[in-house]
Amino acid sequence: MMRKIKLLCLLSACIFMVSGCTVSDLPIKRTTNSNSDVVKFYGFEWLTERSTIEKKFKADFDSEYVCKEESTKVSDDIDVVHVLYKGKDETDLDWTVANHHVSELLICYIKTKSGKNYLFRAIWRFNQCNEEDVEFFYTKLDKLYPNTLKNNGVYIDKNVNQAGLSYTASTKEITLDYCCCDLLYQLLEKGYGPSEQESMVSDKT
């Protein structure tokens, strides 16, 4: 019995070391305490690995989708990967979030030297929306983030994680922009320029 316990302890330690190596492979680290995070994208912790996110999508959304990827080199040891999630044949996604149709999703990942991708920003887009839908989402966000600072449609927690809502009346599109600004600011300091799709949302929020 003691040998089995020792073996289990050793195995657990090895698993922890392997997962620790993956995290230490990240070219930048968070400066804020993740335990204090309130604003998160779809319930994921910031720096969640892409395969975990994909697994959740496949479980929650019973439809095919495609990913269009674009990689941006920030510095010698930092790459950012933008992944645009679209429906089959690059049509709108057949996904529903908060009882609203998702047209597309953009996720921004930090790429490690080992090739793994870790979440730092995500942008939902919902089409065919109106002012009533805007109020619906604000009500949802108010309930989700009651103890955050709310500034011009942007919810900000103590770690400066942000969830921003914007509405474009001409296209009837709502965007929900989730970001770990701790990581984004570090990337910007190293010369990162947000993608065109990111900038479009940033200009609205």
- Burial class of residue 166 in the structure, from the number of CB atoms within 10 Å of its CB (0-12 exposed, 13-18 middle, 19+ buried): buried
CA distance 66 to 87: 6
In the chain the first and final C-alpha atoms are separated, in Å, by: 59
Phi, psi dihedrals of residue 134, rounded to the nearest 5°: -60, -50
What are the residue boundaries of the structural domains of the chain, listed by start?
A: 38-204
Bridge partners (DSSP) listed for residue 81: 71, 109
Which pLDDT band holds residue 90 (cuts at 50, 70, 90)?
confident
Q: For 62-72, what is each residue's pLDDT tens digit?
A: 888 999 999 99
Average pLDDT, the chain: 86
Strands 65-75 and 100-111, by their bridges, are unpaired
Which pLDDT band holds residue 196 (cuts at 50, 70, 90)?
low
CA distance 21 to 4: 26
More confident residue, 4 or 93: 93
> Strand, helix or coil at 46?
coil
Residue 202 is predicted with a pLDDT of 45
Share of the chain above pLDDT 70, in %: 83
Which pLDDT band holds residue 198 (cuts at 50, 70, 90)?
low
Q: For 123-181, what is each residue's pLDDT tens digit?
A: 999 999 999 999 999 999 999 999 999 999 999 999 999 999 999 999 999 999 999 99
Q: Are 151 and 203 in contact (CB under 8 A)?
A: no
Q: Are 91 and 137 in contact (CB under 8 A)?
A: no
Residue 104 is predicted with a pLDDT of 97
Q: Which residues contact 147 (CB under 8 A, 6 or more apart)?
A: 38
With a cut of 90, say whether residue 205 has pLDDT above it: no
Bridge partners (DSSP) listed for residue 73: 79
With a cut of 50, say whether residue 114 has pLDDT above it: yes
Q: Mean per-residue pLDDT for 16-23? A: 38
Strands 78-87 and 95-97, by their bridges, are unpaired
Q: Are 82 and 196 in contact (CB under 8 A)?
A: no
With a cut of 50, say whether residue 7 has pLDDT above it: no
